[in-house]
Amino acid sequence: AQSVSQHNHHVILSEAASLELGCNYSYGGTVNLFWYVQYPGQHLQLLLKYFSGDPLVKGIKGFEAEFIKSKFSFNLRKPSVQWSDTAEYFCAVRRMTTDSWGKLQFGAGTQVVVTP
Amino acid sequence: DTAVSQTPKYLVTQMGNDKSIKCEQNLGHDTMYWYKQDSKKFLKIMFSYNNKELIINETVPNRFSPKSPDKAHLNLHINSLELGDSAVYFCASSQGGRRIKAEAFFGQGTRLTVV
């Protein structure tokens, strides 16, 4: 069965530190890849997405992610975090198959806490 | 202005009751979804509708019955609520054709607490 793995469940770091969150998936076909963020008590918001082309994608709020096809990975990065980046981060995969209909498979999420 | 809106935002009810959650999107998308987020924040799809037709049903108990009166609305009715149904339910929409590249937009979520 397809799965999406996020490497860390909980990350604590100081403001201005760099952040990297790992995401791997197990599906071998064509995929769309996403990172969503959920601020405390809020809904999921799209940070960035990869459909095709340049494997380095830039998103909102200074986030970027790199798709490495050979490693089935889509890691999220931010060079310098702020306190406002405290949130839950979800990696999601959409299989481009005839029966997936846009269904997203989510990773378990990573809780990121940024301390002042 | 809200793209995907759900009501209610909070729902507290007793075991055994029947309740509904409503969802509407004004993005013109043809596919809508219900996702469940459990207490550990894990998100899992429950249902998907494309142009009012059920296309995904992820082995959800038949106490859960989605209904899509038109492609802009997707409601979720839950019968005989159980303690384990307590979760946050998110509605989402996207342009969901089989091979269309598109992201999903999520509603604010409905926090259901069964007591």
Question: Does the distance separating the beta carbons of B33 and A103 come in below 8 Å?
Answer: yes
* CA angle (A63 as vertex; A65, A53 as ends), nearest 5: 35
pLDDT-above-70 percentage for chain B: 94
Contacts of A101 in chain B (CB under 8 A): 31, 48, 50, 55-56, 96, 98
Question: What is the SS3 assignment for A60?
Answer: helix
How many domains are there within chain B? 1
The residue whose two tokens read 């397809």 is A2
Question: Does the distance separating the beta carbons of A108 and B40 come in below 8 Å?
Answer: yes
Give domain A4-115's CATH number out of 2.60.40.10, 3.40.50.1000, 3.40.50.150, 3.40.50.2300: 2.60.40.10
Mean per-residue pLDDT over chain B, rounded? 91
Mean per-residue pLDDT over chain A, rounded? 92
| Spatial contact of B108 and B24, defined as CB atoms under 8 Å apart | no
Per 3-state DSSP, chain A is made up of helix, strand and coil in percentages (nearest 5) of 10, 55, 40
What pLDDT sits at residue A53?
93
pLDDT at B102 over 60: yes
B51-75 tens-digit pLDDT: 888 888 887 899 999 999 998 999 9
Phi, psi (degrees; rounded to nearest 5) at A82 = -120, 165
What pLDDT sits at residue A103?
84
Which own/partner pairs from B2-7 qualify as long-range (CB within 8 Å, at least 24 positions apart)? B2/B26, B2/B108, B3/B27, B3/B93, B3/B105, B4/B91, B4/B92, B4/B93, B4/B105, B4/B106, B4/B107, B5/B107, B5/B108, B6/B89, B6/B90, B6/B91, B6/B107, B6/B108, B6/B109, B6/B110, B7/B110
Tell me which residues of chain A have a C-beta less than 8 Å from any C-beta of chain B.
32, 34, 36, 38, 42-46, 49, 51-52, 88, 90, 96-106, 108-109, 111
B23-54 tens-digit pLDDT: 999 999 989 999 999 998 899 999 999 888 88
| Spatial contact of A110 and A36, defined as CB atoms under 8 Å apart | no
Can you give the residue range of the structural domain that contains B62? 4-114
Q: Which of B103, B105, B111 to mutate to test the interface with A (most CBs of A within 10 A)?
A: B103
What residues form DSSP beta bridges with B68? Answer: none
What pLDDT sits at residue A51?
93
pLDDT-above-90 percentage for chain A: 77
pLDDT at B108 over 90: yes
The Cα of B87 is separated from the nearest Cα of chain A by a number of Å equal to 13
Give the pLDDT band of residue A105 (cuts 50, 70, 90): very high
Q: How is chain A split into domains, by residue range? A: 4-115
Question: Does the distance separating the beta carbons of B45 and A103 come in below 8 Å?
Answer: yes
A18-75 tens-digit pLDDT: 999 999 999 888 889 999 999 988 889 999 999 999 999 999 999 999 999 999 999 9
B70: domain CATH number is 2.60.40.10
The Cα of B79 is separated from the nearest Cα of chain A by a number of Å equal to 25
What pLDDT sits at residue A28?
81
Contacts of A34 in chain B (CB under 8 A): 103-104
* CA angle (B93 as vertex; B89, B97 as ends), nearest 5: 135
Mean pLDDT for the stretch of residues B76-104: 88
